[in-house]
Amino acid sequence: MKRRSLVIALASAAALFATWTPAAADYPERPITMIVPFAAGGPTDIVARIAGEYMAKSLGQAVVVENVAGAGGTTGITRASQAKPDGYVIMMGHMGTHGAAPALYPALKYDPTKDFAPIGLVAGTPILIVTRKDFPAQNLKDFVDYVKANQNKVNEAHAGVGSVSFTTCTLLQSQMGTKTARVAYRGTGPVLNDLVAGQVDFACDQIVNLVSQIQAGSIKALAIATATRSDVLKDVPTTKEAGLPEFQVSAWNAIFAPKGTPAAVVAKLNAALVAALDDENTRRRLLELGSVIPDKAGRTPEALQALVESEVARWTPVLKAAGAVAN
């Protein structure tokens, strides 16, 4: 028995040493780039900058956000997935780039379940159905009726095929039985600008992007697609209360590194993220924007890998049924 235990111990030490490199031991020695695959000012960018600010303190190096927009977030994620796996390029992905994208892009240049080193989940982000403030519907039921009767005049704005806004409004339109014009932007930051300006009619977007504009009355929130109302938007009914119970959907934002990133580097990045999510100020900023902060068990790289696998499996049939998959 003793010989067997010694062999196992030596094998474990060898495996650990294999992932240890001098670089990993001293990581990070210079600023870290976090690729955000959408335009500045949208939900992915907001979550990245809040989490990145505290992670930088924890790691002792700057975390520099680089916005690389296009193709519903897949352009930036493709670039990040091909970066050197040394921990100096990481990315903020989400339910679109790492859940829906494979169904929407048959020639996608990455596999969300295989081509990344998951670092950790940052925030759950409930989805709201929002319209320009003078849209002729005062509640979700009127909205559905109006869009059905005027679908050749109404337009929806999203952040590109594969984005959360595109994916969730694809589901919404499928459930409403409508096919309006759909306008693609480089992120829902710019979408929000045009909603406020009255240039587009409606969108499905993540709560962190919307709270201040809803509270200011610059746009209208018809419903939130979660089982319970948000603590920061108590007057916005759930889709169930508003008469569309089948529209239940939430998004999430998470940090990934390229596949092959040393385990010691992944562990340091995960520790910095966990510290950020325990930091009172960071929590306050995320919570006041309506985020759902994962518990300890939900913050591990393993939990994120399981989430990605379940989301890819979930969204593929949904998007096929909605006819959204490019054939």
Report in angstroms how near the CB of residue 39 gets to ligand MLT at its nearest: 6
Closer CB to ligand MLT, residue 165 or residue 180? 165
Q: Give the helix, strand, coil percentages of the chain, each rounded to 5.
A: 45, 20, 35
Count of residues making up the chain: 327
Of positions 44, 213, 239, 282, contacts ligand MLT by CB under 6 A:
44
Does position 67 interact with ligand MLT (CB under 6 A)? The reply is no
Does position 42 interact with ligand MLT (CB under 6 A)? The reply is yes
Instruction: Report the SS3 class of residue 105.
Output: coil
Going by their DSSP bridges, the two strands 250-258 and 89-94 should be labelled as antiparallel
- Crossing angle of helices 140-149 and 164-176, rounded to 10°: 80
Report in angstroms how near the CB of residue 62 gets to ligand MLT at its nearest: 22
Q: One-letter amino acid identity for 86?
A: D
Report in angstroms how near the CB of residue 114 gets to ligand MLT at its nearest: 22
Report in angstroms how near the CB of residue 226 gets to ligand MLT at its nearest: 17
Of positions 59, 144, 164, 223, contacts ligand MLT by CB under 6 A:
164
Does position 188 interact with ligand MLT (CB under 6 A)? The reply is yes
Q: How far apart are CA 107 and CA 114, in angstroms?
A: 15
- Crossing angle of helices 280-287 and 263-278, rounded to 10°: 70
Number of H helices, E strands in the chain: 12, 9
Chain residues 69-128 in contact with ligand MLT, contact rule CB under 6 A = 73, 94, 96
Q: Cite the DSSP H helix spans in the chain.
A: 2-19, 22-26, 43-59, 74-81, 101-104, 140-149, 164-176, 188-196, 211-215, 263-278, 280-287, 301-321
Of positions 43, 112, 124, 126, contacts ligand MLT by CB under 6 A:
43
Q: Cβ neighbours of residue 306 under 8 Å, at least 6 residues apart? A: none
Does position 226 interact with ligand MLT (CB under 6 A)? The reply is no
Instruction: Convert residues 12-41 into a mask of x (bound to ligand MLT by CB under 6 A) and - (unbound).
Output: --------------------------xx--
Report in angstroms how near the CB of residue 179 gets to ligand MLT at its nearest: 20
Range in contact with ligand MLT (rule: CB under 6 A) among 10-18, 162-170, 219-227, 292-300: 162-170
Chain residues 273-292 in contact with ligand MLT, contact rule CB under 6 A = none
Residue number of the CB closest to ligand MLT reads 42
Q: How far is CA 51 from CA 64, 72, 268, in A?
A: 11, 22, 15
Positions that interact with ligand MLT (CB under 6 A): 38-39, 42-44, 73, 94, 96, 159, 163-165, 187-189, 206
